[in-house]
Structure 1
Amino acid sequence: MNPSIVSVTWLNNHINDENLIVLDCTLNNQLLKLSSDIQGVQIKNARFFDIKNKFSDTANDFPSAYPTQMQFEEEAQTLGINNNSVIVVYDSNGIYSSPRAWWLFKSMGHKEVYVLNGGLPEWLKSNFPVEKKSKRTYPKGSFKAKLNPDFVRRFDDVLENLSSKKELVIDVRSEDRFNGVVPEPREGLRSGKIENSINLPYTKVIENGKFKDEESIKLLFKFLENESRNIVFSCGSGITACVVFLATEGILANKKSVYDGSWTEWGEKTDK
């Protein structure tokens, strides 16, 4: 099993552990359409990790932009998080935005962070305890971030890579979006792909709202067994790129990063 993924059974058995903090990282997506029995409930004692408004650079023109180190640190402290906290992140869509939260913590130097496989739907399926969502405050934590810039790629990095080709860009959008045969969900954004990038839709590493087993994921990435370059994952806005980043933990030996602006930024800043 991927060392950064835990099962709902594991979480239920450890839910009262000292230093354990459960974060609801749900990012609503109109295309995913949460079912009515999931809206308004959370895993018992979960804290809301607001990706869109608290853990993104809201001054940036592009959605879900990478936050500053200070912003992330302060918001994590507001949630009562310490450097010795054991964090389990989940979302109400199964596997969608929780890997983004996991990746953010990893990029900020936190080691003990895990994604709940199957998220809230899997938790409900097992009849584990939930409660109504409500606003809460927590004693301020002492979390200190230690930024690892290797996790992130910016526009200029990807632009320079067009000529150097020192990194391989893997676009995890759907095949139709990658090939430009359907419009982008973001209004006014042109269709297309980054030059020299290859396509592997993030949905291929997921089945029934959970990550596929390790052997199945290994087969998906067998074509990279002789690839030594760093891998840069890209998507629409930096969310689902983190899904595939996480899926390859313990499978790809290559260094990995996420193009934070992804196609939303690239499609607006370039005209190729």
Structure 2
Amino acid sequence: MTTPIVSVKWLKENLQDPELIILDAVLDTPPHDLQIIGARTFDIKTKFSDTSNPLPNTLPKPEAFAAEARKLGINKNSKIVVYDTKGIYSSPRAWYLFKSMGHENVWVLDGGFPAWEKEKLPTEKVTVKNYPEGNFEANFNSEMFKNKEQILENISSKKAVVVDARSADRFHAETEEPREGLRSGHIPGAVNLPFSKVLKDGQFLPKEELEQILPVQNQPLYFSCGSGITACIDLIAYELVAPNIPKAVYDGSWTEWGQDHDLPIEK
């Protein structure tokens, strides 16, 4: 499958596939009680981020990512479905991490846990488990992430368009940033696509509707947000409409850009 998302119906029909691994992309605190039956906890903040970096949710080193993936029993040939408890929120980040590490067989469950639960499909209590070690290997594609120097250079070169997934009031500096010490505004030249605009009831809008609202569809794209999570929601929306356009995530996002007074901003 070339699509980045799968339906609840598809997952239900493929639950018995021995190569299937379901991952609960955890970002919330405190953790939730229930999960899709057979799911394994994919802890973005503490296991699949670089915890030595003062910025939140940043890309882990490939060898660290691979080691944690193997602990979850993930293999090179695993078919991975990631979901989260909000419908669509943190699961696209998990999807993008696997993609950047060279794993192609990964999909986001459209609608996530709420859509699964709504259909009264089997769930279980979240428990800590040990799994037979997998043989996952990371083959990192550095083109899928950008740093602040590359974003700064892009302001003048205009190689790509920066798509900012934050709310319009944050983008236009009409409200203060939720994180302390950050300036308000946006990266010069960026366009705003609040991630909530590409979703309805916790699911991605149909492709036909996405085509009507996505602001740029013919140039390379760099995605940004507050801390690299919701940027991946916008990225998947674009993947559904324009899969062949080059895409990358600005890993530091506004948490990095907004606190660095040497970097330019627009309001």
Identity %: 50
- Counterpart residue type for residue 18 of structure 2: E
The structural deviation recorded for 1:122 is 0.6
Deviation of residue 270 (structure 1)?
A: 3.0
Q: What secondary structure, in the 3-state scheme, does the structure 1 residue paired with 2:223 have?
A: strand
Partner of 1:258: 249
- TM-score of the aligned structures, taking structure 1 as reference length: 0.93
Structure 2: distance between partners of 1:189 and 1:224: 27
Judge conservation of contact 1:109–1:148 (CA < 8 Å) in 2: yes
User: What letter is aligned with 1:40?
Assistant: D
3-state SS, counterpart of residue 138 of structure 1: coil
Partners of 2:147 and 2:141 in 1: how far apart? 14
2:87 is aligned, of 79, 94, 103, to: 94
Equivalent residue number for residue 25 of structure 1:
25
29 and 163 in structure 1: CA distance in 2 versus 1, 3 angstrom threshold: farther
Residue of structure 2 aligned with 1:239, choices 229, 243, 258:
229
Aligned mates of 2:199, 2:80 — CA distance in 1: 22
RMSD: 1.6
What amino acid maps onto 1:166 in structure 2?
A: K
1:173 corresponds to which of 159, 166, 170: 166
**Contact kept in structure 1, 2:207 and 2:240, CA below 8 Å:** no
Query: Which of 121, 133, 139 is residue 126 of structure 2 equivalent to?
Result: 133
Output the CA distance in 1 between the equivalents of 2:22 and 2:94: 12
Q: Which moved more, 1:154-163 or 1:169-178?
A: 154-163
Q: Displacement of 1:188 after TM fit?
A: 2.3
1:250: Cα distance to partner?
A: 4.1
Question: Of the candidates 61, 72, 86, which is equivalent to residue 65 of structure 2?
Answer: 72
Output aligned runs, 1:22-61, within 5 Å: 22-28=22-28, 39-61=32-54
- Where 1:248 maps in the other structure, the secondary structure is helix
- For structure 2, the 5+ residue unaligned runs are none
8 A Cα contact 1:2 1:250, kept in partner = no
Q: Are positions 1:143 and 2:136 aligned together?
A: yes
Q: Which amino acid in the other structure matches residue 224 of structure 1?
A: V
- Alignment partner of 1:224 is 2:216: yes
Q: Counterpart of 2:14 in structure 1: which amino acid?
A: H
Aligned partner of residue 85 in structure 2, secondary structure? coil
CA deviations 1:221-265 (Å, max 9, x no partner) are 2x434x3x3100100000000001111114223211110110000
Is 1:195 equivalent to 2:188 in the alignment?
Answer: yes
| AA in 1 matched with 2:237 | A
User: What secondary structure, in the 3-state scheme, does the structure 2 residue paired with 1:162 have?
Assistant: helix
Secondary structure in 1 matching 2:108: strand
C-alpha contact 2:4 2:240 (8 A) present in aligned 1:
no
How far 1:88 moved relative to its partner?
Answer: 0.3
Structure 2 Cα separation of the partners of residues 224 and 240 of structure 1: 18
Q: Any stretches of 5+ residues in structure 1 without a counterpart? A: none
Shift of 1:218: 1.1
Give the TM-score of the pair, scaled to structure 2. 0.94
CA contact (8 A) 2:83 2:91 kept: yes
**Residues 25 and 48 in structure 1, CA contact (< 8 A), matched pair in contact too:** yes
**Residue 184 (structure 1) shift:** 1.0
Q: Give CA-to-partner distance per residue, 1:14-68, whole Å, 9 cap, x none.
A: 11111100000021179xxx9xxxx300001100000000000001010001110
Distance 2:209 2:26 in 1: 26
Count of aligned residue pairs for this structure pair = 262
